[in-house]
């Protein structure tokens, strides 16, 4: 199980949003490269990056910064935010990003998912962003009415091997994950699941690990790291035990 630091980009800065609300932004750094190097130095084996501007615009907006981060660290990067065309996915993967996270278009276009899986295999991850049991899209601004668990099963049937499952109502709140929903998702599929949203302390890491689900591939944490509530090295140690 990996502990995966989040680096969310808005106007080339590192920020965190509360519940995906762009009016509730907390600024942490104007130097994403230094932030990435810090998390790598503390033992991170993977970075989770989100182009928040891209998520709103529907196309990547922070590629120069993302490329600079890639060139500054040795660990892989998974990237989401605005990847809604074949060309956009090809562009970020060609920049050295290890995994492209698709969301909004994946929900409505199975052929899009199939094409990407056929070409890039496990390099394609689907991000399932849910408010409660249902999926939201367009940078978390639009309700879809789609059940998160049902979508995950569909993506698995299309060949997706990993999902990032984000509880948007808990994201950036430090209110702890909703363990019942996380457990339900882990039970519903056999593919790798990365859990995101609400991580507040080392106890949350322990409690998610205690679910004892073999397909819990990783846990994304952002605000808890940036505000000193979670020690990355300690969390990684617990995840390895």
Could you give the residue numbers annotated as active site? 8, 129
Q: What's the half-sphere exposure (Cβ side, CA atoms, 13 Å) at 75?
A: 20
Can you tell me the distance from the alpha carbon of 216 to that of 132, in angstroms, rounded to the nearest whole number?
19
- CA-wise closest residue to 215 among 186, 188, 174: 186
- CA-wise closest residue to 130 among 188, 86, 84, 89: 188
- CA-wise closest residue to 55 among 94, 98, 90, 88: 88
Longest CA pairwise span in the chain (Å): 43
Residues 6+ apart with CB under 8 A from 207: 179
Cβ of 188: how many Cβ atoms within 10 Å?
A: 17
Pairing mode, if any, of strands 134-137 and 124-131? antiparallel
Say which DSSP state 139 is in.
T
């Amino acid at each position: 199980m990996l502990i995966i630091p989040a680096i969310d980009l808005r106007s080339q800065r590192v920020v965190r949003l509360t519940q995906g609300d762009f009016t509730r932004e907390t600024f942490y750094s104007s130097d994403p490269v230094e932030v990435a190097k810090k998390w790598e130095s503390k033992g991170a084996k993977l970075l989770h990056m989100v182009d928040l501007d891209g998520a709103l615009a529907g196309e990547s907006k922070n590629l120069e910064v993302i490329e600079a981060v890639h060139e500054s660290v040795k660990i892989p990067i998974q990237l989401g935010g605005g990847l809604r065309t074949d060309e956009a996915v090809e562009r970020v993967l060609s920049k050295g990003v290890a995994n492209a996270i698709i969301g909004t278009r994946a929900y409505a276009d199975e052929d899009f998912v199939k094409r990407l899986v056929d070409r890039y295999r496990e390099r394609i991850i689907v991000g399932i962003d849910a408010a409660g049991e249902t999926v939201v899209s367009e940078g978390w601004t639009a309700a879809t009415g789609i059940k998160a668990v049902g979508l995950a099963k569909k993506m698995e049937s299309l060949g997706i091997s990993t999902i990032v499952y984000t509880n948007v109502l808990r994201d950036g709140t430090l209110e702890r994950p909703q363990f019942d929903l996380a457990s339900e998702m882990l039970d519903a599929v056999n593919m790798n699941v990365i859990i995101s949203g609400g991580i507040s302390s080392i106890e949350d890491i322990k409690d998610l690990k205690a679910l004892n689900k073999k397909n819990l591939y990783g846990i994304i944490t952002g605000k808890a790291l940036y505000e000193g509530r979670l020690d990355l090295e300690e969390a990684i140690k617990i995840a390895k035990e």
